[in-house]
Structure 1
Amino acid sequence: MAFDVDLFVIGGGSGGVRAARIASAEGGAKVALAEEYRMGGTCVIRGCVPKKLMVNASAFAPILADAQAYGWNVHHHGFDWSHFRATLDVELNRLEAAYRGTLTNAGVTIYDARAVVKDAHRVELSTGEVIRAKHILIATGGRAFVPDIPGANLGVTSNEMFKLDALPQRALVVGGGYIASEFACLLNNLGVEVAQYYRGEQILRGFDDEARSHVASAMQANGVDVRCHKDVARLEKTAQGIRAYDTSGAFEDVDLVLFATGRLPNSEGLGLEALGVEIGAKGEIKVDDYSQTAVPSIFAVGDVTDRINLTPVAIREGHAFADTIFNARPSKADHELVASAVFTQPELAAIGQTEEEARKAGEIEIYSASFRPMKTLFAGRQDRMLMKLVVAKESRKVLGCHIVGEGAGEMIQLAAIAIKMGATKEDFDRTVAVHPTAAEELVTMRKPVR
């Protein structure tokens, strides 16, 4: 078969764009990419980037209050959502144009169309055009899951949160993961009355128990009505807004219901199963360490594979794929010791094992400090930070680091380098503290708390 392109990428998110660019610009491949919505994918258009900008906007509320305590004569007239949204739209348009420019400059042909896989080497576009590709890469990301309950259509997902005409007065956030918790916090800081339902025991499942409990307590102290062991059963439209009934029959009247109940791999309708590509129970595309599916010419990277659903991981997977196939450098994406951050208020950031995970594997020591940081203490706030190290008792290796507080995401990036290199507790101890900072607590904890 004669091929039209060496590589056809389905999906214009971070992983797909990186793979396309490296394959074309560095590997000399003829590459085409199809994106059915907007270039940049979930992260850039409807995920981490706009969300972080909303987090930034909401963070000014406590800052303005603190400024007065520091002697500033501050006058403001509240938050202008329409101004913020217009500025956000401009920024997202700029980023999308930058992604397109990156691909075009690398020599990638872009199709603004939906693509499905016809067979091991053919892709069909929604325009009717069929393209023959030596290799096909699926990088279609994930999609928001909405529970199958009566009235679910009255709610929104994170996709719609950046397009609201106005902020609600009362909001119900359904879910306990990082997306739900982040939106609960930022809406609360923007003046919205927020309740958060989570059917589990504690929000932020999968993170260290001490750290996530610290975050939950702080959220409640800041005004978010966090209710665990509670789930929504049905929604009804009312004259004033939405009536949300929980599983016990009690109800709550709100203006907005946000379903942040998880995400699923976006693999439906691509024509993969009929070709022999293995699909998992949640819809994830099964791949090997080199992102290859059971069909040798078809590969997949990013959230659609449901390995580690983080943008930087998708980028690494896309790059490793391109290096393996087009640069003669067989590469596996490294999924060990990947740091992450949750932009709740306060932030939570982590790398490595939780205390609970580490205890199952062997004897450990826990070094933990909870304290009021200087910045907000001076302003009279009761905020507390948490610094925590999980250490293997015999090898002294730092197995995990967990930080809760302002700047946690920034700090964990640097701590991750040391932990990825295999630093011991004594390596931390030998490091001279930078004073006065919150981060100095990471190198001044001398005695284990347990």
Structure 2
Amino acid sequence: MSFDFDLFVIGGGSGGVRAARVAAEAGARVGLAEEYRYGGTCVIRGCVPKKLMVYAAAFADAFEDARGYGWKVGPARFEWCDLIAAKDAEISRLEAVYHDGLRRAGVALFGARAVVADAHRVRLATGAEYTAKHLLIATGGRPVIPEIPGSELGITSNEMFQLEAQPGRMIVVGGGYIACEFAGIMNGLGTHVTQLYRGDQILRGFDADLRDHLAAAMRERGIVLEIQRDLVSIAREAGGLRVELDNGEAHVVDAVLFATGRRPNTAGLGLERLGVELKANGAVAVDAWSQSGVPSIFAVGDVTHRAALTPVAIREGEAFARTVFKAQPVRPDHLMIPTAVFTRPELATVGMTEAEARSAGEVEIYRTRFRPMANILAGRREKMLMKLVVEPGSRRVLGCHIVGPGAAEMVQLAAVAIRMGATKDDFDSTMAVHPTAAEELVTMRSDAA
């Protein structure tokens, strides 16, 4: 059978773009349909604009801390509209890079929604249809909004990046990456932030010491963090939005941000009709090679809900393309994934938590808390936390967890060593770089378990 394309990709985010480029560079005829903007959640309304806003919020600390180092700093004023304009310009630049990279690789681009018509055919919103030997679903995810009275008055992370004015008072609902990051961003930019989370502590699934340390630090910075608390309704009134909580309290705020999870974006794609298995949350069920139960249909990235992180989507997309179009079988490795939460202070981790390690047997715990040098003259009381989880006997480092400045940069490098099987003795025998915060990783000596 003759096909229009060797590969047709639905979705122009990180995973889909990488797969399309690698396949095209291998000589495949590739088509890609994107209904919104190239770059996906990460570039357009996710990690990239979020990190830019994290940098913006950090200047509040810099202005304040400078006085301790002899700088005479005048009154500082933040302009929300200037930040949003600068952010938008950078996102447009990055989108153009993605778009041009695909075109240079020879990918045929279609600016329209696409659905799966059958195992080898896609249909565009324009009415056009194309056939392909392989189809790749890379449609990412979308925010979930709880079903409560007035929920339509709230916003999600999608709208957060496009607010025309900075809210003076804000409630953030949720306890995961997005909720904690935006709570820190908006607090740093001067918004009064209340964060509600119905669980017993923020960042479920992370090491307990990190969760507790970060929660205390967020409160110290002025965020009103209320755990085991949820909202039950939102209503508009003259002074803003009236929010009712499950304990009977009420708040009037300017904005409510729902950061209450994300769902794989598979609705209306036509996959169920073809027999592609979807999990309870809508995720495409795939095997280790990212292949669905229909042999010609593959899926990568957040739409599979394996690990909803941009680098994972990129790795999955490349592994798929190398396997199918370069005859280089590669299965993405979802073990020992390093990750960072760009809160204020920053948190990063790789490997097993203490609880996970203890469930498998005995462990050794090495832990230190200290004020980083930069905080001393600044008069800032905030401390860093570093923690290593170690397997007795082999002394292999099972996990590394950090809260504090530069946490993500340190964990990225530690992840290489830990994936290679580094032991605590390897850490101990490595010469320290002094004076740095990172040297604590190689100078912790006492088992704190």
> Which AA in structure 2 matches 1:23?
A
Q: Which residue of 1 aligns with 2:7?
A: 7
Aligned 1:396-407 pairs, distance under 5 A: 396-407=395-406
Hey, what does 2:174 align to over in structure 1?
175
- Other-structure match for 2:420: 421
CA distance in 2, matches of 1:178, 1:390: 23
User: Is the Cα contact below 8 Å between 1:264 and 1:283 reproduced in 2?
Assistant: yes
Residue identity matched to 2:6: D
Residue aligning to 1:264: 263
2:387 paired residue number = 388
1:39-438 alignment runs, 5 A limit: 39-438=38-437
Deviation at 1:339, TM superposition (A): 0.1
Aligned partner letter, 1:21:
R
Give TM-score, length-normalised by structure 2.
Answer: 0.99
Q: What is the aligned partner in structure 1 of residue 37 from structure 2?
A: 38
Alpha-carbon displacement from aligned partner over 1:10-67 (angstroms, at most 9, x marks no partner): 0000000000000001x20000000000000000000000000000000000111101
**CA distance in structure 2 between the partners assigned to 1:383 and 1:377 by the alignment:** 10
Alpha carbons 1:377, 1:383 under 8 Å: kept: no
- Name the counterpart of 2:23: 23
Shift of 1:394: 1.8
- Taking structure 1 as the reference length, the TM-score comes to 0.99
| Corresponding letter in the other structure for 2:14 | S
Secondary structure at 1:218 match in 2: helix
Letter of the 2:264 counterpart: P
Q: How far apart, in 1, do the equivalents of 2:98 and 2:384 lie?
A: 37
Which structure 1 residue ranges, 4+ long, deviate > 6 Å from structure 2? none
Name the CA distance, whole Å, in 1 between partners of 2:276 and 2:183.
Answer: 38
Render the CA deviation track for 1:303-362: whole Å, top value 9, x for unaligned: 000001110000000000000100001110011111000000111100000001000001
CA distance in 2, matches of 1:113, 1:394: 57
Distance 1:324 1:75 in 2: 58
Partner residue of 2:440? 441
How far apart, CA to CA, are the structure 2 residues paired with 1:449 and 1:321?
A: 43
Give 3-state SS (helix, strand or coil) of 1:346's partner: coil
Shift of 1:249: 2.4
Paired letter, 2:175:
G
Query: Where does structure 2 lack aligned partners over 5 or more consecutive residues?
Result: none
Task: State how far apart, in whole Å, the 2-side matches of 1:249 and 1:116 are.
Answer: 45
For the residue of structure 2 that corresponds to 1:215, the secondary structure is helix
CA distance, structure 1, for counterparts of residue 410 and residue 44 of structure 2: 26
Aligned partners of 2:31 and 2:150: how far apart in 1?
41
Cα distance in 1, alignment partners of residues 92 and 312 from structure 2: 24
User: Is the 1:143–1:263 Cα contact (8 Å) retained in structure 2?
Assistant: yes
The offset of 1:248, in angstroms, is 2.4
Separation in structure 1 between the aligned mates of residue 411 and residue 132 of structure 2, nearest angstrom: 41
CA contact (8 A) 1:363 1:394 kept: no
Q: Read off the aligned partner of 2:23 and give its amino acid letter.
A: A
1:241 partner letter: G
Q: Distance in 1 between matches of 2:177 and 2:6?
A: 38
Question: How far apart are 1:77 and its partner, in Å?
Answer: 3.3
Q: CA offsets, 1:146-195, max 9 Å, x none? A: 00011000000000111011101100000000100000011001000000
**What residue identity is the alignment partner of 1:124?**
R
CA distance in 2, matches of 1:241, 1:330: 56
In 2, Cα distance between equivalents of 1:349 and 1:93: 29
In 2, the alpha carbon distance for the partners of 1:424 and 1:327 equals 36
Aligned-pair Cα RMSD in Å: 0.6
- Aligned letter for 1:185? G
Distance in 2, Cα, partners of 1:10 & 1:120: 13
CA distance in 1, matches of 2:88, 2:217: 31
Per-residue CA distance 1:226-273 (angstroms, 9 max, x = gap): 000000111000111101111222211100000000111111110000
Q: For the residues of structure 1 that align with 2:358 and 2:295, how far apart are their CA atoms?
A: 41
- Give the superposition deviation at 1:281: 0.6
For the structure 1 residues 91 and 76, does the alpha-carbon distance in structure 2 shift closer, same or farther, using more than 3 Å as the test? farther
One-letter code aligned to 2:328: R
After superposition, give the CA deviation of every residue in 1:42-96 in whole Å (9 maximum; x if it has no partner): 0000000000000000000011110111011112431111111111111010000
Give the Å deviation of 1:423.
Answer: 0.2
Determine the C-alpha separation between the residues in 1 that align with 2:242 and 2:2: 59
Q: Give identity over the alignment, percent.
A: 62
CA distance in 2, matches of 1:30, 1:37: 23
- Which AA in structure 1 matches 2:7? L
Partner SS for 1:94: helix
Unaligned runs of 5+ in 1: none
Deviates more, 1:67-76 or 1:263-272: 67-76
